[in-house]
Every structure is written in structure tokens, then in C-alpha cells.
Amino acid sequence: MINTDIATKFADRETPFYYYDMDVLARTLEAAHEASQKRGFHVHYALKANFNDVLLKRIQEIGFGADCVSGNEVRKAIECGFTPQNITFAGVGKSDKEINYALTQQIFAFNVESIQELEVINELASKQGVKANVALRINPNVDAHTHHYITTGLDENKFGVPNADLEKCASVLKKCEFIELVGLHFHVGSQITDMTVFKSLCVKVNEWKSWFEERGTQIRVLNVGGGLGIDYKNPDGNSIPDFEAYFDIFDRFLERKPYQEVHFELGRALVAQCGSLISRVLYVKNGVKKNFLVLDAGMTELMRPALYQAYHKIDNLSAVETEESLNYDVVGPICESSDCFGKEVPLPDSGRGDLIAIRSAGAYGEVMASRYNLREEIRFVYSDQL
């Protein structure tokens, strides 16, 4: 929640910056921890959503593991205190250098996406004389009903071992002496708000688990990925995702034996609502057809609206609430027409210097920032340091 008291404390700060509400983060982590713990579920936080050190330390302290998609993310997780035995390494294109590094760290598991990758990991592990723990990522062909750029579990997506390859995969695995199959991995997409998608995923996980068991392969870990969505429309009223409902679906629909563990890789749901991008109005420009608010933050700081046409709630922290609202196109300073945070956004009469908060920006915000137009490095403010 950003109120006028907090906005007053922003007054002398140089904008733009990311503001992290550490109380929202703590409450979100506690809710996720409680709901997962009581069902015996394991959560690996997906660093790709945000690898800010300060946030990572809090996430590590609560006891979650880490889900990484590059050698550098594995290194970062270890630096921030995650134990390698609690780190998974996913991704469709792991380089030899990255695999070698993760092998030396003896991480919990590689999420493997193809037969060729299995063979490469086996060979690199044999050269190091170690065993690599592997979870096989299966493409379950489940539609996540989300934006097509963040849908990953359909046959047309590049992710996971295609179903047609699994028979061969099972026999290759038997020959890979330096690989230990610990489990199966699935991930169907991100910003999923329709819980029936997760129910459909459970059905597929059950099918594939039985398929392997029928072939005499024991599966210890069922990793069902991440994807739980958040409420971008109402970040204050609905700041904590419904982790109870989410974990309950898997508890009810995932068939498992007592020795089988269920793992999750949540990113967005844990960190999105604690972050806002704070910016100032540079200019109010009344165009022929539109009123533009030109901010000092742009797609270089938060790319989601430009890339996915994503909605983020926009608040004017300086304006008096009772004022009549006008419709503005809220844009950034970058030389691209896609540099737009929202079209026809109803806001109070706004002026140069007003502080603007772009909400729900804690996930896939800071991490996707770029220096395009030679923009300055992004700055941060944490609520407990105000």
C-alpha cells in the first residue's frame, strides 16, 4: 500500500526508482510458506522474476529453495545463502560452461528439456566424475489461457521433451550412468488466474507419472512449476494471492505416494505486489487526439506493457483524490511508440513534477530493465529504509 505519508518521503528522491514494500513482501512470503508447509510442499522461488539481493535474502530466510535459469542465477542464489541442495537449474539452452559450474556445486536438480541435453549432461558429469540429478521436463500440452508470449506448455512451444520423444528418452536415461533421475518437471505458463488450468495440469502429471512407473522408473519428485497469477487491477485490495486455493488444487488432484515430494517454482506470485515503479511527470502534453503524461520512467525500466501489452495500475501520488479525473496516455521518454504504460488512463488532473506509481511491478520489472537510449542504472528504495 502506498499512502500519502510514504509519498511525502519520496519527495526529495531522484526518480525513477523501484520501491519495494517489505511488509507486503513479508506477508506474501508468510502466506505462501504457511499454505505450502502444511501440505508438505516444497517451494523454489523462480529468480527470473526478480533477483534483487535484498529480496532474495528475505526469500531465502523463509526457507524456500531457488529455481534458476542461468549459471549466473545459480551463482547469485548461492551468494545470497540458498544451499545448492535446494537449487534447481532449468532452461531450454544451458551452455556447457553453465552445466559444468552447476555440476561442481552439486545442485538439487537440472530440469532437462531434450534428449540431447541429457546426453551432454551425462558426458560432462562423467568428465567431472560426479552424478547429475535430473528432473525431466515434459511438455504436457495444457493451455494456460494466458498471454501467448508467456504460454509454455503447448506442443507448439519450445519447452520440454515432446511426448513423442519420451519412449526414447526413457531408454537413453537407462544408459546414462552419470545421471540420476529424481523426478518429472512441468510448467505451463505464467500469470495464470484460472485455477482449472492447474487441475488439468494435475491430470497430465498423474498420467506421466504412471507412465514412467509402468516402465519400472521410480519418480521421487513431482515439480509442477510456477505460474500462479496476481491481481494487477487491484493491488491494494488483493495484495496477497490466494495460496490456499492454489496449493489446495494440487493437494486434491495430484496422486502421490508417501515418498513422493511435490515441488513448485513460484516467481511472480511471491514478489509482484511488493514492487512499484515510482516516476515523476516531466511534461503534460495535450495532443490533437490525446492528453499525454510524459514520465521520466519508460519501457527501459518496466518493459511489460510494451512487450506484452500488460496492464499495470497507475496512481498519481501527488494529486488530491477528490479532483475530477481526466484520461491520459501515460508514456515514457524513450524513442519508441511502444513506450507507453497505459492508454486512456483515468487520473486526477496531473501536472509537472507529480509523483506517479506504476503498481505490481515487483516481478519481471527490475530484472527486465535495459540501458537502451543509454538510460541510467535503475535505483531502489526499500520501505524499511525510508
- The DSSP-derived string for 172-213 is HHHH-TTEEEEEEE---BSSB--THHHHHHHHHHHHHHHHHH
Give whichever of 238 and 327 is closer to ligand LLP, judged by the CB atom: 238
In the complex, which residues of this chain contact ligand LLP (CB under 6 A)? 46, 48-49, 67, 90, 150, 152, 187, 190-191, 225-228, 265-269, 304, 308, 364
CA separation for the pair 291, 284 (Å, rounded) = 7
> In the complex, what is the shortest distance from the CB of residue 309 to ligand LLP, in angstroms, rounded to a whole number?
11
The dihedral formed by the CA atoms of 191, 383, 77 and 150, expressed in degrees to the nearest 10: 10
> Residue 236 corresponds to which amino acid?
D
> In the complex, what is the shortest distance from the CB of residue 93 to ligand LLP, in angstroms, rounded to a whole number?
13
> In the complex, what is the shortest distance from the CB of residue 44 to ligand LLP, in angstroms, rounded to a whole number?
8
> In the complex, what is the shortest distance from the CB of residue 11 to ligand LLP, in angstroms, rounded to a whole number?
30
Give whichever of 228 and 345 is closer to ligand LLP, judged by the CB atom: 228
Cell readout for 355 is: 509523483
> In the complex, what is the shortest distance from the CB of residue 361 to ligand LLP, in angstroms, rounded to a whole number?
10
Give whichever of 132 and 135 is closer to ligand LLP, judged by the CB atom: 135
> In the complex, what is the shortest distance from the CB of residue 109 to ligand LLP, in angstroms, rounded to a whole number?
12
Q: What share of the chain is helix, strand, coil (3-state, %, to 5)?
A: 35, 25, 40
Residue with cell 504504460: 341
Give whichever of 151 and 318 is closer to ligand LLP, judged by the CB atom: 151
Q: Residue 127: what are its φ and ψ, rounded to 5°?
A: -65, -35
Give whichever of 16 and 362 is closer to ligand LLP, judged by the CB atom: 362
> In the complex, what is the shortest distance from the CB of residue 191 to ligand LLP, in angstroms, rounded to a whole number?
6
CA separation for the pair 312, 109 (Å, rounded) = 35
CA separation for the pair 295, 106 (Å, rounded) = 46
Phi-psi region of 216 (alpha: psi -120 to 50; beta: other; left: phi over 0): left
Asked if residue 140 has a cis previous peptide bond (ω within 30° of 0), the answer is no
Give whichever of 58 and 187 is closer to ligand LLP, judged by the CB atom: 187
Q: Are 85 and 197 in contact (CB under 8 A)?
A: no
Give whichever of 10 and 198 is closer to ligand LLP, judged by the CB atom: 198
Q: Nearest CA to 194 among 119, 159, 143?
A: 143
CA separation for the pair 269, 243 (Å, rounded) = 9
> Residue 238 corresponds to which amino acid?
N
Give whichever of 28 and 191 is closer to ligand LLP, judged by the CB atom: 191
> In the complex, what is the shortest distance from the CB of residue 150 to ligand LLP, in angstroms, rounded to a whole number?
5
CA separation for the pair 297, 326 (Å, rounded) = 21
